[in-house]
C-alpha cells in the first residue's frame, strides 16, 4: 500500500500529534487548507487500510512507574507458534508480540513478547504466566532487560512529491 501526496501531507501534519482542542480534525484541515470532511474521509481510509492503527495517547511506561522492561524470548514449536503467539499477545501486560526467525545455534528463540512491570520481580511473575501458557510447546526461554535507552527517534516520513 502506498500513500499519495495528500496522505503524506496529512501524516506529516499529524506526526507531532493531534491538537488538543475541541475540533482537532477541523484544526488540522485548516492548516492543510482542506475540508474537514475530506480530511476525515482520508483518515478513515488510512485506518481501514491499517496505516493508522488508532488515534490515542501513548503512555510513558517509565512515568507510570513501569520501570522494568523485559524482552521475553521463547523457543516455541513451529506448528504451534501462530496459535500460542495469539494467546500471548492477548495477555494484558504484553505490549508487543512477534514471531521472528531463529538464529541457531545460539539463538533458538522464535517468539518475542515485551513485558513491562513496576519491578523485575513483577516482570518475572508475568514471564512465569507466559511460560505456563506455552507449556510443553516451549523448549527454551530467556529474558533480556533493558538497562539503557541508547536512542529513541520518532517515525520520520521523508517527503515525496
Residue pair 39/10 in contact (Cβ under 8 Å)? The answer is yes
Considering only the stretches 123-131, 133-141, 142-150, report the one whose residues sit in contact with another protein under the rule CB under 8 A: 142-150
How far from the centroid of its chain's Cα atoms is residue 154's Cα?
A: 13
- Is residue 18 part of the contact set for another protein (CB under 8 A)? yes
- Is residue 23 part of the contact set for another protein (CB under 8 A)? yes
Residue pair 73/109 in contact (Cβ under 8 Å)? The answer is yes
CB 119, min distance to another protein, A: 14
Cell numbers standing for residue 17: 500529534
Which parts of 70-99 interact with another protein (CB under 8 A)? 71, 81-82, 85-86, 88-90, 92, 94-99
H/E stretch holding 125 reads: helix 120-134
Residue with cell 510447546: 137
Options 6, 30, 145, 159; binder of another protein; rule CB under 8 A: 145
Nearer to another protein, 104 or 136 (CB): 104
CB 111, min distance to another protein, A: 9
- Is residue 43 part of the contact set for another protein (CB under 8 A)? yes
Distance, CA of 6 to CA of 126 (rounded, Å): 44
Nearer to another protein, 92 or 135 (CB): 92
* Listed residue (22, 51, 60) closest to 157, CA to CA: 51
- Is residue 149 part of the contact set for another protein (CB under 8 A)? yes
Amino acid at each position: 500500500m502506498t500513500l499519495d501526496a495528500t496522505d503524506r501531507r496529512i501524516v506529516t501534519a499529524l506526526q507531532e500529534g493531534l491538537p488538543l482542542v475541541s475540533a482537532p480534525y477541523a484544526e488540522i484541515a485548516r492548516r492543510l487548507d482542506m475540508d474537514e470532511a475530506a480530511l476525515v474521509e482520508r483518515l478513515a481510509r488510512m485506518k481501514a487500510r491499517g496505516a493508522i492503527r488508532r488515534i490515542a495517547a501513548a503512555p510513558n511506561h517509565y512515568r507510570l512507574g513501569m520501570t522494568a522492561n523485559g524482552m521475553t524470548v521463547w523457543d516455541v514449536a513451529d506448528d504451534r507458534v501462530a496459535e500460542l503467539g495469539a494467546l500471548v499477545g492477548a495477555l494484558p501486560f504484553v505490549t508487543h508480540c512477534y514471531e521472528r526467525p531463529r538464529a541457531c545455534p545460539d539463538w533458538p528463540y522464535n517468539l518475542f513478547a515485551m513485558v513491562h512491570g513496576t519491578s523485575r520481580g513483577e516482570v518475572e511473575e508475568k514471564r512465569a504466566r507466559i511460560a505456563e501458557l506455552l507449556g510443553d510447546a516451549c523448549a527454551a526461554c530467556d529474558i533480556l532487560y533493558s538497562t539503557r535507552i541508547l536512542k529513541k527517534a520518532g517515525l520520520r516520513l521523508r517527503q515525496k512529491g
